[in-house]
Amino acid sequence: MNTSAIRLSGVRSLLSNPILILERQIEFGNIIFGFEQNNRYRISNVNNETVGWAVERQRSLGQMMMRQLTKLHRPFVVDLFDQNENYLFKIDRKFSFINSKLKVWSNDEYTDNRTASESILIGESVQSWHLWRRRYNLFVQEFKKRQYTEKIESGNNGSRMLNQFGAIDAPFLSFEFPLMDEQNKILASVDRNWVGLGREFLTDTGVYVVRFDAKNSFKGVYDPSVLSDRVLNLDQRAILLANAISIDFDYFSRHSRGLGSGGFLPFGVYDE
């Protein structure tokens, strides 16, 4: 089986789970010295079986020092792997002054120095400003024209279209981030779990439950009347999983601070 086939099989195996648990591992440098280290997340299913890993890339010494200064605004690249450490896709976030913007890339090849020969944009998560609410708009790349989409030039790759498929609009200090469709029904969600007083205050870790499937993930959580009939595809699930990492950076990292960010961007096309 070639690299692309292994990657596709791993992506399907990981994202076909209706529920994933994302757990940020304890950073001992943060506990002892207050020095934030590269984040590493264990991804498990509802049976607590490890099904993947999300690992922030190592950076140079200068970049590490800049990380301590830029804090929640800092850029990062996170690589996703399956349980057998086969590379799947990457998450890339640039420095953000106010609102974070995160891109999810599918790479055809992966080398020892963690660079890809080719990258295809899967989609984006864009934080939008609000004085107290926690808001994100999620977009997926489409290759055929449909309502609320338009072509965006992308160099040698021809044209692409970013179509918004959901929005998060959570209250101040919320631990629950439901993803809403255009009818304001719940498509999926990211929920931050409380992990105990000692761990919450003494370590910089977090546990997130990512629910992908409104039909199979919310039994006993929400009334069926508020749930969407739509089911997220694999690309959309990859973007929501990446958004869970962005939520962790923006609001629940030890370096996170302030009232939160948000804003309004209507359903439709996000133009860079």
Reported as a single tens digit per residue, the pLDDT across 215-231 is 889 988 889 999 999 99
Mean pLDDT along residues 61-67: 54
Is the pLDDT score of 247 beyond 90?
Answer: yes
- Which of these, 201, 205, 200, lies nearest to 28 by C-alpha position? 205
3-class DSSP string for the chain: CCHHHHHHHHHHHHHCCCEEEEEECCCHHHHHHCCCCCCEEEEECCCCCEEEEEEECCCCHHHHHHHHHHHHHCCEEEEEEECCCCEEEEEEECCCCCCCEEEEEEECCCCCCCCCCCEEEEEEEEECCCCCCEEEEEEEEECCCCCCCCCEECHHHCEEEEEEEEEEEECCCCCEEEEECCCCCEEEEEEEECCCHHHHHHCCCCEEEEECCCCCCCCCCCCHHHECCCCCCHHHHHHHHHHHHHHHHHHHCCCCCCCCCCCCCCCCECCC
Sorted by where each starts, the structural domains of the chain and their CATH numbers stand as 3-148+159-252 (3.20.90)
Distance CA 6, CA 115 (A): 18
| Percentage with pLDDT > 90 across the chain | 49
Q: Report the largest interatomic distance among the alpha carbons of the chain, rounded to a whole angstrom.
A: 53
Report which residue type is found at 155. Answer: G
Q: For 220, left (φ over 0), alpha (ψ -120 to 50), or beta?
A: left
User: Which residue reads 């090849």 in tokens?
Assistant: 109
Cα torsion for 144, 150, 154, 156, to the nearest 10°?
Answer: 50
At 10-21, the pLDDT tens digits run 999 999 999 999
At 147-179, the pLDDT tens digits run 444 444 444 444 568 999 999 999 998 999 999
Residue of higher predicted confidence among 2 and 163: 163
